[in-house]
């Protein structure tokens, strides 16, 4: 991917740049997952408190399926930052992540259904909850890693910002049937360009 700026309206990319730098500092300071999720959630909450920094190119829904846009990937693939965009009524399959992750809603609402594996291997739905603008959720194999996410708005897109403990578009993961049968997938990314966070020649 070319690290070029794709901007349709003036945005404050310095917010995303500051978030990426702070998250890299966090991972340099600790490998403890609990500390990463706690401190990382505070960083992500601060980022999504303002909706003036995400370029339009990375917030566009697709009429056929939800979109996952790469915003940044750490040079050592310790973490990645992506935007997820759901059109009205769109949903993920039941899926896992294999790594820790943080999800913060920037626009709209997400419905989250969490699943638990039974001793028989099947999955049971443990209920649903809604994540609203400004709220952050966490996942990991340690605390719960299998869920399904649906746009909580029937008439407009929803956008969330996700941070994962790997280059998530390259991680081999799985979707699941309710009987627990897995199907491997690697998600990749929907975009062909990423925001240029490092050009300080312009006031962004």
Known binding residues for Fe cation are: 95, 97, 147
Q: Cα(166)–Cα(80) distance, rounded to whole angstroms?
A: 6
Q: Cα(21)–Cα(75) distance, rounded to whole angstroms?
A: 12
Provide the 8-state DSSP code for 32: -
* CA contacts within 13 A on the Cβ side of 113: 14
Structure tokens at 14: 């310095």
Q: Cα(99)–Cα(163) distance, rounded to whole angstroms?
A: 10
């Amino acid at each position: 991917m070319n690290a070029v700026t794709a901007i349709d309206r003036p945005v404050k990319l310095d917010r995303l740049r500051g978030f990426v730098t702070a998250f890299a500092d966090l991972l340099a300071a600790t490998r403890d997952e609990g500390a990463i999720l706690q401190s990382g959630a505070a960083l992500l909450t601060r980022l999504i408190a303002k909706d003036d920094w995400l370029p339009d190119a990375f917030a566009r829904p697709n009429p056929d399926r939800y979109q996952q846009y790469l915003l940044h990937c750490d040079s050592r693939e310790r973490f990645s930052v992506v935007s997820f965009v759901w059109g009205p009524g769109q949903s993920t399959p039941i899926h896992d992540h294999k790594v820790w992750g943080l999800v913060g809603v920037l626009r709209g609402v997400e419905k989250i259904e969490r699943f638990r594996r039974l001793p028989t291997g099947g999955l049971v739905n443990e209920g649903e909850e809604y994540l609203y603008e400004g709220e952050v959720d966490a996942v990991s194999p340690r605390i719960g890693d299998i869920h399904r996410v649906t746009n909580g708005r029937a008439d407009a897109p929803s956008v969330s910002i996700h941070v994962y403990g790997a280059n998530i578009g390259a991680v081999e993961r799985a979707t699941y049937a309710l009987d627990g049968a897995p199907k491997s997938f690697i998600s990749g990314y929907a975009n062909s360009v990423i925001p240029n966070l490092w050009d300080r020649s312009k006031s962004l």
